Structure 1
Amino acid sequence: MQRASTYRHPAGRIVRIETHISIVYLAGRFAYKIIKPVAPGFADFTAPETRQRCCEAQLQLNRPLARDLYLGVLPIMRRGRTVTFGSRGRAVEHAVKMRRFDEAVLFSSLARSGALSLHDVDGAARRLAAWHRRAPRNAPLARYGSAALLKAQIEAVNVALQAGCVEARLPEIAAWCGQQLAQRSAAIDGRRANGFVRACHGDLHLDNVMRWRGEVSMFDCIDFDDALRWIDIANDIAFLVMDLRARAGTRLSNRLLNAWLEASGDYAALELMPLYVVYRALVRVLVAHLRSKSGSSSKAAAAARDAARYIEIAAAETQTPPPVMLLCHGFSGSGKSVASRALAGLSGAVWLSSDVERKRMESMAAADARLDATHYTAEARHAVYDHLLGLATCVLQAGYSVIVDATFLEHRHRSAFFALGERLGVGVRILDFRAAPDVLAERIGTRRRNQRDASDADTSTLSLQLATAEPLTAVETAQTFAFETVVPVEAFNEPAFWKRVLELIASPAAEPATADGRIRCKSENSRYAAEWDSRLSRSASAGLQSRCRDDVQ
């Protein structure tokens, strides 16, 4: 395979790359991947028939997420003392033929060089959400994606790690996994029953994601074990969330999760996300451990560093601070959406947008699609806040802080969310975004001309808001962080801009706000709180999961 004469095209200098289960030969404009006859523990590739089937599966399964990358499966024939690709001779192996690409476009390479961008991450999130929406759902076996099978998979990884790794935190992490599996088994099986177990990629680490011909592509999916590919879509995205956190930083990881949630609407997935993130981190620890057993001392040292990094990710995920709820407040054009989305990336909070959810409620997939005035009546407006209240409940109960991006110009809406915070024992704060009226109007005009925003507000909307907005009460003002937004957009990405908010999220108060210098909105406005209590009861977990199922279909 390292001879140019083996190939039917100009091969140039042939490069050989070996992993723990495969060998790739880079020859000219193409790459040829051969599966090694090994049994690394999670699969057995020793039989030639198994390797051939895996090659054929790679071709079929990878094409949906990596267009034009996979070209075919070729038999490697022996004729005398030589081997070549063709139909004459005795087949001794099979190879997957792929187009060769520059490794600099891999997300792993981009992350190392600091060139991986928010645009890349957004593209990956949209691509995965679109694939998850249309992925096959009829699993070959009913047990795929079940709580019992997931427990067996996680326990197998933990047993292997504790048998081969000397790391004091691994038993603690394994015990945490066991607790989570016991507590979340009903949710795991509930999502499986509701259709969230689908034919996924299954191996979404940064080495398998790249920029490719103007879009983000994912390749080298799991092809050797259906049980590792037919999984909950939350399990699939969690791998990339975890690996971005480990290798590219929390900001890009947070952005990916929020962008996927925004595109999919599957906020109920958050209940299981910490478990899946820890599981995926442990998988990478095991892979690094296997790598450390072979190769040079420098490669073994690099693998040990990788293992330590993934253990840190797993350990950190088991110890997160209590959540808080942040309510954006401000007129259209105040910059609250751009600013709060940046805050979500810095803080790890989940970002909920009234503009996005209003369109989702109307089954409008395109952010730039426009809604008419009938969708902005008082009744329609209350329905959007009702929906946001249900989503915020889901996010907070999953243990995530939440940023609710809406105008919150009416006291009744603010009161309802403060009542939710009191009910859940969660601290609530208002983020008040400010700009002069002429700046607001100018921004709205620019946004309307560009048509790249989910907001439908125009200057007439702004005029109505300015005339009818109910100002913050004295008690609410005491719980408000004010932000002047007439600053360079880049300022929103700086932790210093959000210093007080980030400190709150990192170390939230133990008790929710009350009226004596804090806030207790049910006491302050029991009529509004009671009304929204009734609305909230209709957004319980089962109903929300049903809505999520419909959204991702």
Structure 2
Amino acid sequence: MSDTPISRHVPNRQRVARRHSRLVDAALSRASTYAHPAGRIVRIETHISMVYLAGRYAYKIMKPVDFGFVNFVRLDARLRCCEAEIRLNAPFAGPIYRDTGELFLDGRRCRLRSRRGVRGNVKVIDYAVRMRRFDQRLLFSNLLAHGELGTDDIDAAATSLAASHRHAHRAGRGPMAPAARLGSAALLREQVLAALAPLEADPRTAHAVTRAGLRETCECELARLAQHLDGRRTNGFVRACHGDLHLDNIVRYGRHALMFDCIEFSDELRWIDVTCDLAFLLMDLRAHGRSAYAHRLLNRYLEATGDFAGLAALRLHIVYRALVRALVATLKAGSPARSDAQARAGVASRYLALAASEARAMREPAPWLLLCHGFSGSGKSVASRALAELSGAIRVSSDLERKRLEPFAPPSLEALPPSAYTHAALDALYERLVAHVRDVLNAGYTALVDATFLKATHRARFAALARELNRPMLILNFHAPQARLAERVNARAHGPRDASDAGADVLAAQLAQADPLDARERQRTVDLNTDVEIAAFSREPWWAPLFARMRAEDGGN
């Protein structure tokens, strides 16, 4: 390129930005800049922002950078971003976000103050998001690294995410609705291929991307799912989401999980299918070696939303999210001469390996249909939840779906009237379960149906579905002594309310009216004695008969 005024403008602008960043960094690293006791100040850097932990608060500034997808070079752009961050994060992490502060010159020194109620003319040089400081040890990423992230945290995250999606603004509805392009199949295609291209061009990642056939798989899935993706938008599942939901952006807050630092600078990255938002956290848990937590999160989210139809594109979204994280890690690695370049490259490789694994699953799905069969009190609900977490199966619960009064709503735990348990109502419920299971199997996931299946007609309906979709089916026969069944049913009636309404009278009717498994069904049955401690359900040895049967029928794989 010739040395024109235009070509000289870019490095000059970069030098100005670097000087500005040094000035701001020096100011915010001094306790005297703040209007409150700051103590020892801790700096946290990302590729587009800096965070300063000072006393009771944390302050986030946007770097004066232009990466194409985000441009914070102008001061007014940084102000708009700060104000948007306060507004958009309120639904996810309202207790954390406070207001926007301004960094201004006071003589030859810099000061920081809130913009609320500010009077007088000062030279403002930058803006900062002011947040309530929290214990960094409670970040999900740090809890996981120290072995302290628990199942309660995963359940809290699933509950928070489902609630935020349920109440989020929807594309195409209301004054907050975005342009029709946002959340579309065409835009997702552009985003996926835009993440792929630099990884294919970088010699550090090109071989892994090519070897896994990621471009071919993504292009095939994007074409196959285009109608599904646009249909999801039409049906209201493209919403104002978090958009950047990885483990560094979730914190344990009492008994809750707060999701902070959502995407505020790009409508294209924020107005997305709720499944794409969920996929980010699922992907990050798996990339950190916590597949069981990812399985639990997915099943708890589906229990809260019933959005089984969203599974169709889940693997594609997971691949996309893994590509984005691999790209970010590669950009952070920078030059091979950097001291942390090798570690960053290792992070990128981990995400690419996950993308490759999901791509294989998209090309070669091998789902099963597993029917839970047993009387109330047999332990099938507790056991099937544990099995879903161990295996990655998607659990579909009759108790929960019976009490889901409208789509994408959480199930009610209130007792239903007798009319909900007539023969006609039960037949209608099982037909809804069939529809959900069809979605699960067509998406390439194993479906685990938690229902009593005490009537031969209901079992036959699912057997017909398995034949139609050419999927193998097994019946999991959960059984325990009758005295133990009665004991569990009575204990549940006096314990915390759950989704089941079954009491002693229901159990008695089941025992008297159940259709026994016939000879053909017995050939497809695995017997599981649940007269054991509940903890046994979460251990693989208890499931050995099932896993052995599945491996044998899969050809020993």
**Both proteins in one fold, TM over 0.5:** yes
Distance in 2 (CA, whole Å) between partners of 1:467 and 1:298 is 72
Distance in 2 (CA, whole Å) between partners of 1:395 and 1:260 is 14
Partner of 1:543: none
CA contact (8 A) 1:26 1:32 kept: yes
CA contact (8 A) 1:203 1:236 kept: yes
Distance in 1 (CA, whole Å) between partners of 2:406 and 2:77 is 48
CA contact (8 A) 1:111 1:248 kept: no
Secondary structure of 1:223's counterpart equals coil
CA contact (8 A) 2:405 2:412 kept: no
Alignment of 1:135-174 (within 5 A): 135-137=168-170, 138=173, 139-164=177-202, 165-171=204-210, 172-174=213-215
- Partner residue of 2:327 out of 286, 289, 297: 286
Pair 1:448–1:297, CA change in 2 (3 A)? farther
Tell me by how many angstroms 1:122 deviates. 1.4
Secondary structure of 1:319's counterpart equals helix
- Partner residue of 2:394 out of 334, 337, 350: 350
More RCO (CA 8 Å, sep 6+): 1
Matched, 1:175 2:216: yes
The one-letter code sitting in structure 2 at the alignment partner of 1:461 is V
Alignment of 1:123-272 (within 5 A): 123-137=156-170, 138=173, 139-164=177-202, 165-171=204-210, 172-272=213-313
Distance in 2 (CA, whole Å) between partners of 1:439 and 1:367 is 27
Matched, 1:73 2:100: yes
Distance in 2 (CA, whole Å) between partners of 1:105 and 1:504 is 42
Pair 1:508–1:259, CA change in 2 (3 A)? farther
Tell me by how many angstroms 1:195 deviates. 1.3
Partner of 1:360: 404
Secondary structure of 1:272's counterpart equals helix
Distance in 2 (CA, whole Å) between partners of 1:212 and 1:12 is 23
The one-letter code sitting in structure 2 at the alignment partner of 1:89 is V
The one-letter code sitting in structure 2 at the alignment partner of 1:347 is S
CA contact (8 A) 2:400 2:411 kept: no
Partner of 1:9: 36
Secondary structure of 1:483's counterpart equals strand
Partner of 1:390: 435
Matched, 1:112 2:159: no
Pair 1:365–1:21, CA change in 2 (3 A)? closer
CA contact (8 A) 1:210 1:218 kept: yes
CA contact (8 A) 2:319 2:358 kept: yes
Secondary structure of 2:517's counterpart equals coil
Pair 1:247–1:367, CA change in 2 (3 A)? farther
CA contact (8 A) 1:354 1:405 kept: yes
Tell me by how many angstroms 1:212 deviates. 1.2
Partner of 2:3: none
Matched, 1:91 2:124: yes
Partner of 1:549: none
- Partner residue of 2:70 out of 43, 68, 75: 43
Secondary structure of 2:360's counterpart equals coil
Distance in 2 (CA, whole Å) between partners of 1:437 and 1:276 is 46
CA contact (8 A) 2:304 2:411 kept: no
Partner of 1:62: 89
Tell me by how many angstroms 1:299 deviates. 2.7
Tell me by how many angstroms 1:367 deviates. 4.3
Report which stretch shifted further, 294-303 or 326-335: 294-303
Distance in 1 (CA, whole Å) between partners of 2:551 and 2:241 is 34
Matched, 1:414 2:469: no
Tell me by how many angstroms 1:492 deviates. 1.0
- Partner residue of 1:277 out of 308, 314, 318: 318
Give me the identity figure in percent: 49
Tell me by how many angstroms 1:236 deviates. 0.8
Q: Show CA shifts across 1:115-168 (max 9, x none).
A: 222221111111111111111114321100111111111111111211224342
Tell me by how many angstroms 1:36 deviates. 0.8
Q: Show CA shifts across 1:12-58 (max 9, x none).
A: 11111111111111111111111111123432222211111111111
The one-letter code sitting in structure 1 at the alignment partner of 2:372 is C
- Partner residue of 1:444 out of 464, 478, 489: 489
Tell me by how many angstroms 1:502 deviates. 3.5
Pair 1:485–1:314, CA change in 2 (3 A)? same
Partner of 1:100: 133
Secondary structure of 2:244's counterpart equals coil
Pair 1:366–1:252, CA change in 2 (3 A)? same
Pair 1:506–1:240, CA change in 2 (3 A)? farther
Secondary structure of 1:198's counterpart equals strand
CA contact (8 A) 1:401 1:505 kept: no
Matched, 1:24 2:78: no
Pair 1:282–1:507, CA change in 2 (3 A)? farther
Partner of 1:544: none
Q: Show CA shifts across 1:292-333 (max 9, x none).
A: 116984532321221111111111111224110000000000
Tell me by how many angstroms 1:507 deviates. 7.6
Pair 1:456–1:506, CA change in 2 (3 A)? same
CA contact (8 A) 1:352 1:404 kept: yes
Secondary structure of 1:360's counterpart equals coil
Partner of 2:23: none
CA contact (8 A) 2:403 2:413 kept: no
Matched, 1:435 2:480: yes
Distance in 2 (CA, whole Å) between partners of 1:81 and 1:370 is 69
CA contact (8 A) 2:401 2:411 kept: no
Distance in 2 (CA, whole Å) between partners of 1:136 and 1:118 is 29
Partner of 1:465: 510
Aligned residue-pair number: 510
Pair 1:157–1:365, CA change in 2 (3 A)? closer
Distance in 1 (CA, whole Å) between partners of 2:550 and 2:488 is 30
Distance in 2 (CA, whole Å) between partners of 1:424 and 1:29 is 58
Report which stretch shifted further, 501-510 or 326-335: 501-510
Tell me by how many angstroms 1:113 deviates. 1.7
Secondary structure of 1:182's counterpart equals helix
Q: TM-score, normalising length from structure 2?
A: 0.88
Pair 1:136–1:296, CA change in 2 (3 A)? farther
Distance in 2 (CA, whole Å) between partners of 1:245 and 1:31 is 30
CA contact (8 A) 1:323 1:505 kept: no
CA contact (8 A) 1:431 1:480 kept: yes
Tell me by how many angstroms 1:445 deviates. 1.3
Gaps of 5+ in 1: 511-553
Partner of 1:312: 353
Q: Show CA shifts across 1:199-233 (max 9, x none).
A: 11000001001111331110000011111001111
